[in-house]
Amino acid sequence: MALNDKHIAELQRIYKARFGKEISREEALAQGLKLLRMVELVYKPMTEVEYRQLEARRQETGDTSLIRGIFGAKMGTPAIISRKREITRV
């Protein structure tokens, strides 16, 4: 997978906004490619069958959170992300 100039510039903008430091195009490209590789290794798309099972389990339990719905209520995470994309403490 490759990053185009627009993506690299956006990564530079985000990095400067977050860390207050400008990075070169080469550094942004290297960091962006590392991020993409990590996502490729970690991300596993949900099958349609898994999605239906998840929705059924969420309806049974009344759970509307994304994290609990995917990983189960016993995960023990200090925060969950609701469907509204806000972080709430549990």
- Say yes or no: 19 and 38 in one domain: yes
52 and 74: one domain?
yes
Range of the domain at 53: 48-89
Q: What is the DSSP letter of 7?
A: H
Backbone dihedral region for residue 76 (phi beyond 0: left; psi -120 to 50: alpha; all else: beta): left
Secondary structure (3-state) at 89: strand
In the block, tokens 């590789």 appear at: 37
Question: How many Å apart are CA 57 and CA 63, to the nearest integer?
Answer: 8
Q: What is the pLDDT of residues 9-60, one digit of tens each?
A: 999 999 999 999 999 999 999 999 999 999 999 988 889 999 999 899 988 8
Same-domain status, 32 and 56: no
The rounded distance, in Å, linking the Cα atoms of 29 and 31 is 6
Q: What is the pTM of this model?
A: 0.53
Check whether residue 37 and residue 14 sit in a common domain.
yes
- Amino acid 56 reads A
Same domain, 29 and 54: no
- How many domains does the chain fold into? 2
